[in-house]
Protein backbone atom coordinates (compact mmCIF):
# COMPACT_ATOMS: atom_id res chain seq x y z
CA UNK A 1 0.00 0.00 0.00
CA UNK A 2 1.18 3.49 -0.85
CA UNK A 3 0.30 4.94 2.55
CA UNK A 4 2.90 7.70 2.84
CA UNK A 5 1.83 11.31 2.25
CA UNK A 6 3.83 13.32 -0.28
CA UNK A 7 4.03 17.09 0.11
CA UNK A 8 4.81 19.59 -2.63
CA UNK A 9 6.20 23.03 -1.71
CA UNK A 10 4.86 24.59 -4.88
CA UNK A 11 3.71 27.69 -6.71
CA UNK A 12 7.09 28.41 -8.34
CA UNK A 13 5.36 28.60 -10.78
CA UNK A 14 1.87 27.08 -10.56
CA UNK A 15 2.07 25.29 -13.92
CA UNK A 16 5.40 23.70 -12.99
CA UNK A 17 3.76 22.53 -9.76
CA UNK A 18 0.88 20.97 -11.67
CA UNK A 19 3.37 19.32 -14.01
CA UNK A 20 5.26 17.69 -11.13
CA UNK A 21 2.05 16.43 -9.55
CA UNK A 22 1.03 14.90 -12.89
CA UNK A 23 4.44 13.23 -13.15
CA UNK A 24 4.04 11.76 -9.64
CA UNK A 25 0.65 10.35 -10.57
CA UNK A 26 2.03 8.91 -13.81
CA UNK A 27 5.02 7.36 -12.01
CA UNK A 28 2.84 5.49 -9.52
CA UNK A 29 1.98 1.91 -10.42
CA UNK A 30 -1.59 1.11 -9.38
CA UNK A 31 -4.32 -1.46 -9.76
CA UNK A 32 -7.07 0.85 -8.54
CA UNK A 33 -7.51 4.56 -7.82
CA UNK A 34 -7.01 4.11 -4.09
CA UNK A 35 -3.46 2.85 -4.70
CA UNK A 36 -2.27 6.38 -5.51
CA UNK A 37 -0.34 8.34 -2.90
CA UNK A 38 -2.07 11.07 -1.00
CA UNK A 39 -0.40 14.27 -2.20
CA UNK A 40 -0.78 17.59 -0.42
CA UNK A 41 0.20 20.67 -2.41
CA UNK A 42 0.73 24.18 -1.11
CA UNK A 43 0.94 26.14 -4.35
CA UNK A 44 2.24 29.44 -3.03
CA UNK A 45 2.99 31.87 -5.88
CA UNK A 46 3.57 34.58 -3.24
CA UNK A 47 7.03 33.13 -2.55
CA UNK A 48 9.48 35.87 -3.69
CA UNK A 49 11.35 35.31 -6.92
CA UNK A 50 14.29 32.99 -6.32
CA UNK A 51 16.56 34.50 -8.95
CA UNK A 52 16.04 38.05 -7.65
CA UNK A 53 16.69 36.86 -4.10
CA UNK A 54 19.92 35.12 -5.05
CA UNK A 55 21.14 38.08 -7.09
CA UNK A 56 20.41 40.45 -4.20
CA UNK A 57 17.91 42.56 -6.13
CA UNK A 58 14.82 41.26 -4.36
CA UNK A 59 13.50 39.73 -1.16
CA UNK A 60 14.89 36.37 -0.09
CA UNK A 61 12.35 33.56 -0.55
CA UNK A 62 13.75 31.54 2.38
CA UNK A 63 11.18 32.51 5.03
CA UNK A 64 8.29 31.93 2.63
CA UNK A 65 9.71 28.55 1.64
CA UNK A 66 9.97 27.53 5.29
CA UNK A 67 6.45 28.78 6.04
CA UNK A 68 5.05 26.85 3.09
CA UNK A 69 6.94 23.75 4.17
CA UNK A 70 5.57 24.07 7.69
CA UNK A 71 2.03 24.26 6.33
CA UNK A 72 2.60 20.80 4.88
CA UNK A 73 4.20 19.65 8.12
CA UNK A 74 1.03 20.53 10.04
CA UNK A 75 -0.94 18.36 7.62
CA UNK A 76 1.24 15.34 8.31
CA UNK A 77 3.29 14.85 5.14
CA UNK A 78 5.97 12.16 5.30
CA UNK A 79 8.24 13.31 2.47
CA UNK A 80 8.44 16.52 0.47
CA UNK A 81 9.78 18.00 -2.73
CA UNK A 82 10.21 21.39 -4.39
CA UNK A 83 9.29 21.85 -8.08
CA UNK A 84 11.72 24.71 -8.62
CA UNK A 85 15.39 24.15 -9.43
CA UNK A 86 16.56 27.62 -8.37
CA UNK A 87 14.85 27.16 -4.98
CA UNK A 88 17.21 24.25 -4.31
CA UNK A 89 19.80 26.89 -3.42
CA UNK A 90 17.86 27.23 -0.15
CA UNK A 91 16.99 23.56 0.36
CA UNK A 92 19.46 22.86 3.18
CA UNK A 93 18.24 25.85 5.20
CA UNK A 94 14.61 24.87 4.59
CA UNK A 95 15.32 21.28 5.61
CA UNK A 96 16.75 22.40 8.97
CA UNK A 97 13.34 23.82 9.90
CA UNK A 98 11.21 20.83 8.87
CA UNK A 99 10.69 17.45 10.51
CA UNK A 100 10.10 15.53 7.26
CA UNK A 101 12.77 14.93 4.57
CA UNK A 102 12.80 16.91 1.34
CA UNK A 103 14.07 14.96 -1.63
CA UNK A 104 16.77 16.89 -3.48
CA UNK A 105 16.05 16.93 -7.23
CA UNK A 106 19.67 17.67 -8.14
CA UNK A 107 21.06 14.81 -6.10
CA UNK A 108 18.58 12.50 -7.80
CA UNK A 109 19.50 13.96 -11.19
CA UNK A 110 23.18 13.25 -10.59
CA UNK A 111 22.42 9.61 -9.80
CA UNK A 112 20.14 9.31 -12.82
CA UNK A 113 22.70 10.60 -15.32
CA UNK A 114 25.45 8.36 -13.91
CA UNK A 115 23.20 5.32 -14.17
CA UNK A 116 21.72 6.04 -17.61
CA UNK A 117 24.37 8.10 -19.46
CA UNK A 118 27.62 6.70 -18.12
CA UNK A 119 29.67 7.82 -21.13
CA UNK A 120 28.59 11.44 -21.03
CA UNK A 121 31.19 14.01 -19.95
CA UNK A 122 29.87 17.38 -21.16
CA UNK A 123 26.40 18.45 -20.01
CA UNK A 124 24.59 21.54 -21.29
CA UNK A 125 22.25 23.34 -18.89
CA UNK A 126 19.38 25.72 -19.62
CA UNK A 127 18.69 27.53 -16.34
CA UNK A 128 17.95 30.91 -14.80
CA UNK A 129 20.75 33.41 -14.35
CA UNK A 130 20.45 32.98 -10.58
CA UNK A 131 21.00 29.24 -10.82
CA UNK A 132 24.00 29.80 -13.08
CA UNK A 133 25.55 32.41 -10.80
CA UNK A 134 25.52 30.20 -7.71
CA UNK A 135 26.87 27.15 -9.56
CA UNK A 136 24.04 24.92 -8.41
CA UNK A 137 24.59 22.29 -11.10
CA UNK A 138 28.36 22.30 -10.57
CA UNK A 139 27.73 21.65 -6.88
CA UNK A 140 25.75 18.46 -7.47
CA UNK A 141 26.93 17.18 -10.88
CA UNK A 142 30.58 17.02 -9.89
CA UNK A 143 31.63 14.32 -12.35
CA UNK A 144 30.56 16.28 -15.42
CA UNK A 145 31.72 19.33 -17.31
CA UNK A 146 28.81 21.80 -17.11
CA UNK A 147 28.35 24.30 -19.94
CA UNK A 148 25.86 27.13 -20.30
CA UNK A 149 24.74 29.34 -23.17
CA UNK A 150 26.76 32.47 -23.88
CA UNK A 151 25.83 35.57 -21.88
CA UNK A 152 24.06 37.00 -24.92
CA UNK A 153 21.99 33.89 -25.57
CA UNK A 154 21.28 33.54 -21.84
CA UNK A 155 19.74 37.00 -21.74
CA UNK A 156 18.05 37.11 -25.15
CA UNK A 157 16.81 33.52 -25.26
CA UNK A 158 16.73 31.66 -21.95
CA UNK A 159 15.65 34.46 -19.61
CA UNK A 160 13.36 35.97 -22.23
CA UNK A 161 11.69 32.60 -22.78
CA UNK A 162 11.08 32.26 -19.03
CA UNK A 163 10.43 35.83 -17.85
CA UNK A 164 9.67 37.86 -20.99
CA UNK A 165 6.29 39.41 -21.77
CA UNK A 166 5.69 36.53 -24.16
CA UNK A 167 7.44 34.07 -21.86
CA UNK A 168 6.38 31.01 -19.93
CA UNK A 169 5.81 32.75 -16.58
CA UNK A 170 3.30 34.99 -18.38
CA UNK A 171 1.35 31.93 -19.48
CA UNK A 172 2.73 31.61 -23.01
CA UNK A 173 3.55 28.01 -23.85
CA UNK A 174 3.60 28.62 -27.59
CA UNK A 175 6.06 29.11 -30.40
CA UNK A 176 7.89 32.23 -29.15
CA UNK A 177 9.52 30.71 -26.03
CA UNK A 178 10.01 27.43 -27.88
CA UNK A 179 12.07 29.05 -30.64
CA UNK A 180 14.17 30.94 -28.08
CA UNK A 181 14.91 27.76 -26.14
CA UNK A 182 15.69 25.81 -29.30
CA UNK A 183 18.20 28.51 -30.26
CA UNK A 184 19.86 28.25 -26.84
CA UNK A 185 19.91 24.45 -27.08
CA UNK A 186 21.48 24.55 -30.52
CA UNK A 187 24.27 26.75 -29.20
CA UNK A 188 24.95 24.28 -26.36
CA UNK A 189 25.07 21.39 -28.82
CA UNK A 190 27.49 23.33 -31.01
CA UNK A 191 29.67 23.75 -27.90
CA UNK A 192 29.77 19.99 -27.49
CA UNK A 193 26.95 19.25 -25.08
CA UNK A 194 26.18 15.51 -25.15
CA UNK A 195 22.88 15.98 -23.36
CA UNK A 196 20.88 18.97 -22.18
CA UNK A 197 19.21 19.52 -18.83
CA UNK A 198 16.01 21.49 -18.51
CA UNK A 199 17.42 23.36 -15.54
CA UNK A 200 14.33 25.47 -14.83
CA UNK A 201 10.99 23.79 -14.20
CA UNK A 202 9.21 26.08 -16.68
CA UNK A 203 11.42 25.10 -19.62
CA UNK A 204 10.12 21.55 -19.99
CA UNK A 205 6.59 22.94 -20.34
CA UNK A 206 7.65 24.20 -23.77
CA UNK A 207 10.85 22.47 -24.90
CA UNK A 208 10.37 18.74 -25.48
CA UNK A 209 12.90 15.98 -26.29
CA UNK A 210 11.85 15.81 -29.96
CA UNK A 211 12.73 19.47 -30.46
CA UNK A 212 16.49 18.94 -30.16
CA UNK A 213 19.09 16.49 -31.47
CA UNK A 214 20.55 15.46 -28.10
CA UNK A 215 18.81 13.89 -25.08
CA UNK A 216 16.81 16.38 -23.02
CA UNK A 217 16.64 15.52 -19.31
CA UNK A 218 13.87 16.86 -17.10
CA UNK A 219 14.95 16.91 -13.41
CA UNK A 220 11.30 16.99 -12.35
CA UNK A 221 10.61 13.73 -14.17
CA UNK A 222 13.59 12.23 -12.35
CA UNK A 223 12.35 13.69 -9.04
CA UNK A 224 8.82 12.36 -9.50
CA UNK A 225 10.03 8.80 -10.05
CA UNK A 226 12.48 9.08 -7.15
CA UNK A 227 9.93 10.37 -4.66
CA UNK A 228 7.48 7.63 -5.61
CA UNK A 229 10.15 4.96 -5.14
CA UNK A 230 11.34 6.51 -1.86
CA UNK A 231 7.81 6.78 -0.48
CA UNK A 232 7.13 3.13 -1.36
CA UNK A 233 10.15 2.01 0.63
CA UNK A 234 9.68 4.36 3.58
- For residue 192, count other CB atoms closer than 10 A to its CB: 11
DSSP class of residue 138? H
Rounded Cα–Cα distance for residues 169 and 126 (Å): 16
Query: Three-state SS across 3-38?
Result: CCEEEEEECCCHHHHHHHHHHHHHHCCCCCHHHCCE
Distance, in Å, from the CA atom of 83 to the CA atom of 95, rounded to the nearest integer, reads 15
Rg over CA atoms, the chain: 17
Q: What is the DSSP string of 45-96?
A: TTSPPHHHHHHTSS--SHHHHHHHHHHHHHTT-SEEE-S-SGGGGGHHHHHH
The catalytic site residues sit at 84, 200
Distance, CA of 145 to CA of 94 (rounded, Å): 28
CB 141 within 8 A of CB 106: yes
Amino acid sequence: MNDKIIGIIGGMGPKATIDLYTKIVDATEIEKEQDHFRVIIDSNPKIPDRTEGILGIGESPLNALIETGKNLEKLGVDIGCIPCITAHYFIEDVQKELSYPILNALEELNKYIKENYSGVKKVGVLATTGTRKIGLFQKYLTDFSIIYPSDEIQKECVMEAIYGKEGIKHGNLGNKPLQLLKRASDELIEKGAELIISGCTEIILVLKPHHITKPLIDPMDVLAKAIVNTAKLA
